[in-house]
Structure 1
Amino acid sequence: MCMIDGMVDGLDFQIINALQIHPRVSWAHLGRILRVDPSTISRRWSALTQQRQAWTSCFEGDGPRSAEREISALVEIRCTPGRRADVIAELGRQGPIFSVHCTSGPRDLYVMISTHSLLSMDRYIDEHIAVIPGIVGTRTHYLRRIFLEGSGWRLNMLSDDQAEALRLLRPSEPPEHRKPAYRDVVAALSTDVRRTAADMQRELGRSITVISRDIDALLAANWVRWRVDFAHTLMGWSAAAVLWLDVQHHDLERLVASLRSLNHVRMCASVTGEANLAVFLWLHNLQELDEIEGRVASAFPKVLVKDRWIVPRIAKRTGYILDLDSRRLRYVPVGGQPVFED
């Protein structure tokens, strides 16, 4: 909880949590679920977005059975002393770079990036990242399988009944194909998932009925990512960390299942390198890292912690440039620069 232009309280967290589950739920429906006047909910959400404490995004991703999956990687970056801020600014401008993190250890930063293939990833890092003035070295960790990721993370501020009521309101009939028209709708919703169909009508040149139908289809599609993010440091998460774990193959699925119950875990992926599992955490304080490591060690004594990275600042998250208080500043379209073909 915090004070800036206004008080962020339990109702604000409930609204954010509700939109994480159903990003386009009507305020009338949400009012009945939360037992709060819809006008109050509308006013609270407007304040959160106007004060840059909460924002939304929508973008295409891979479905679980996609024939052609994107390649994702975490890239460590070492900077010339005194040049880190310049490097952050340049990395933030590049669309294929989803996020930019300041971190501890021998690297200064790490970024998350997605491209169409291993070759295009290698070329992009070499020709667009390594050449930035102020960068003196990079190291790439390819993500093999993403078990958990940020668009699936929830605040858990609602009761089970409230969460289920929201899930039942969300469209459940996925589209059979990715129609070209869907890409235009996703782009129109990219920085505001609650835009009305009427507001989008002139931009898309389609009827309100068709746009509404396409939005419902996209809400059910497993290849569309809907996110509701917020200024984490202002709302109680003062630090972040990455644990690099060496996990025996037969323990991997059980460990991931255990990590799913930890609300600190924002992302979890198997990776290439000395460690084979990277766990990305949000923390209220650094002492929580000891508790998490202790829980893992107790349940999985053969799991080895190969490294720990502390993340004092997130400069860019899912396309949004963030200020030092973790509030959004501006949006850089995801994939806004050309990605090489093989």
Structure 2
Amino acid sequence: MLSESDLKLVDALQASPRVPWSALGRTLGIGAATAARHWDGLVERGEAWLTAYPGGELRARLTLALVEIDCGPGEPLRVARELAADPHVPTVEYVAGHCDLLAHVVAPTLREVSDYVIHRLSRLPGVTATRTVISPRLFAEGSRWRVRAISPGQRRALTPAAATANGALRFTDLDRALLLALGEDARASAAALAQSLGVGASTVRRRLDALLGRGAIHLRCEIARPLSPAPVTATLWLRVPPDKLEATARTLGQLPEIRMCAAVSGAANLCAVVWLRSQHDTVELESGLAAQLPWLEIVDRAVTLRCVKLMGRLMDDAGRSAGRVPLDFWAGGGGRGRTGAAARGAARRGGGGGGVFPCPRPA
């Protein structure tokens, strides 16, 4: 696991990803330069990183599907790496369960998700079967998960006040460009973003404040799972009475182990992703859920054996960040015809917003 000081730094950036180093250092009792240097080291080693992605009302305009994938013998990791090059697949995991891979697919419309599964994913060599469920509502997602290394007082001091949203969100090409630029450097200043995008700094600052303030863009500080206090990931497929769905999801969202909780359109109507200290903790967690929510039925479960991609970040064999694929869910192509080397080549070239960017690593 990371050192206590590194865990505190990660926790502080989970509370406020763009907090100035001076304010962060003051809260943690270290110098601003020391905080920045330690963070740069974590990023360079692939041990922690920042991610930017659609949230709130912007996320509600997108379609999320969870796809279970069966593969031929010896094919799962090859197929997973193939999918990892796609901007429409933010997360893909090799799991121990009733399927080989579990992939998240995101696109603007249900039709585009359908096209992706039919024309891209299902046609990949090595894929033998797929099963898809749609998530009509996301109750909790990864930006709420905390390392829990700093005190509640320190977290309150770092957490910015919530902004009030006025009117409906108008998402423009500039907003999309800002989202992708923040995916490259979530702590970039408004001046640096303005220079890279070729617009005025005041315009960037105004749009950035609006998008981040109303939660249309989420920033998330991640930690490499093997170095985390909770290195084991499990996915639970749950069935609850429809009239108890929201209340159950709210209860689950308050549990510290819950990483994601989403309604799904299948035999199970709720999906929960949990981060645990060990695979043995799944028994205790399920027992606690049964006692607290007696109407809840656990339909199925899967334990992640290897995370190949997590919200746009490519993972190496040790579970550290080794590169990124921009989370451009509006990228063209919709999954038609790009397979094999063509998809990887398009990703590396940045075609359609799907470029793969290696992270700096020590020599």
Return the TM-score normalized by structure 1: 0.90
Matched, 1:172 2:166: no
Per-residue CA deviations over 1:16-40 (Å, capped at 9, x if unaligned) read: 1221221110011112222222222
Alignment gaps of 5+ in structure 1: 2-7
Check if 1:338 corresponds to 2:333.
yes
Distance 1:154 1:282, change over 3 A: same
Q: How does 1:212-291 map onto structure 2 within 5 Å? A: 212-291=205-284
Unaligned runs of 5+ in 2: 337-363
Q: Kindly provide the amino acid, as one letter, of the partner of residue 235 in structure 1.
A: S
- What do the CA deviations read for 1:168-204 (whole angstroms, capped 9, x no partner)? 4x57355754344222222221122011234334322
- Mapped contact 1:95–1:337 kept (Cα < 8 A): no
| Contact 1:116/1:339, CA 8 A, preserved across alignment | no
Asked if residue 10 in structure 1 is aligned to residue 4 in structure 2, the reply is yes
Change (3 A) 1:210 1:123: closer
Contact 1:57 1:226 (C-alpha < 8 Å) held by counterparts: yes
Residue 78 of structure 2 is matched in structure 1 by: 86
Give the aligned residue type for 1:208: A
Letter in 1 for 2:122: A
Give the match for residue 136 of structure 2. 144
State the secondary structure of the residue aligned to 2:300.
strand
Residue 101 (1) aligns with residue 93 (2): yes
* 2:121 counterpart residue number: 129
- 1:38-60 alpha-carbon deviations (Å, 9 max, x no partner): 22211211111111111112133
CA offset at residue 147 of structure 1? 0.5
Secondary structure, counterpart of 2:80 in structure 1 = helix
| 1:21 partnered with 2:12 | no
| Paired residues of 2:139 and 2:250 also in contact (CA < 8 A) | no
Q: CA offsets per residue over residues 98-120 of structure 1, 9 Å max, x none?
A: 11011123311010011222222
Listed one character per residue, the Cα deviations across residues 278-309 of structure 1 (whole Å, up to 9, x for unaligned) are 11111110121111111111112222111111
Q: Show the counterpart of 2:50.
A: 56
Write the letter of the residue equivalent to 1:147.
F
CA distance, structure 2, for counterparts of residue 238 and residue 297 of structure 1: 23
The corresponding residue for 2:343 is none
Deviates more, 1:244-253 or 1:332-341: 332-341
Identify the range of structure 1 (181-190 vs 71-80) with the bigger mean alpha-carbon deviation: 181-190
CA distance in 2, matches of 1:174, 1:250: 29
> When the two structures are aligned, how many residues end up with a matched partner?
332
Asked whether the equivalents of residues 171 and 219 of structure 1 are also in contact (C-alpha less than 8 Å), the reply is no
Asked if 1 retains the 8 angstrom alpha-carbon contact of 2:11 and 2:146, the reply is: yes
What is the root-mean-square deviation in Å for CA atoms of aligned residues?
2.2
In structure 2, what residue type is equivalent to 1:220?
A: G
Which stretch shows the higher mean deviation, 185-194 or 90-99? 185-194
1:113 aligns to what? 105
Once residues 278 and 178 of structure 2 are traced to their aligned partners in structure 1, the CA distance between those partners, rounded to angstroms, is 40
SS of alignment partner, residue 103 of structure 1: strand
When residues 313 and 70 of structure 1 are mapped into structure 2, their CA distance, relative to the original with a 3 A threshold, is same
SS at match of 1:281: strand
Distance change >3 Å, CA 174–CA 166, structure 1 → 2:
farther
Name the SS for the 2:227 alignment partner.
Answer: coil
Does the aligned pair in 1 maintain the 2:68–2:131 contact within 8 Å? Answer: yes
Distance 2:120 2:257 in 1: 33
Bigger mean CA offset, 208-217 vs 317-326: 208-217
Contact residue 121 and residue 335 of structure 2 kept, 8 A: no
Q: Residue in 2 aligned with 1:37?
A: 31
2:309 corresponds in structure 1 to: 316
Cα separation, 2, equivalents of 1:215 and 1:175:
15
* TM-score (structure 2 length as normaliser): 0.85
Q: Would you say 1:71 and 2:66 are equivalent positions?
A: no
For 2:136, what is the secondary structure of its paired residue? strand
More moved, 300-309 vs 122-131: 300-309
Q: Contact 2:49/2:223 (CA < 8 Å) preserved in 1?
A: yes
Instruction: Indicate the residue corresponding to 1:4 in structure 2.
Output: none
Using the TM superposition, give the Cα deviation of residue 340 of structure 1 relative to its aligned residue in structure 2, in angstroms.
Answer: 7.5
> Quick one: distance in 1 between partners of 2:61 and 2:206?
27
Match of 1:131, SS?
A: coil
Contact persistence 2:139–2:262 (CA under 8 A): yes
Q: What is the alpha-carbon distance in structure 2 between the residues aligned to residue 250 and residue 171 of structure 1?
A: 30
Separation of aligned partners in 2, 1:234 and 1:81: 30
Partner Cα distance (1:245, 1:134) in 2: 29
Counterpart secondary structure, 2:57: coil
Q: 1:95 to 1:238 in 2, by over 3 A?
A: same
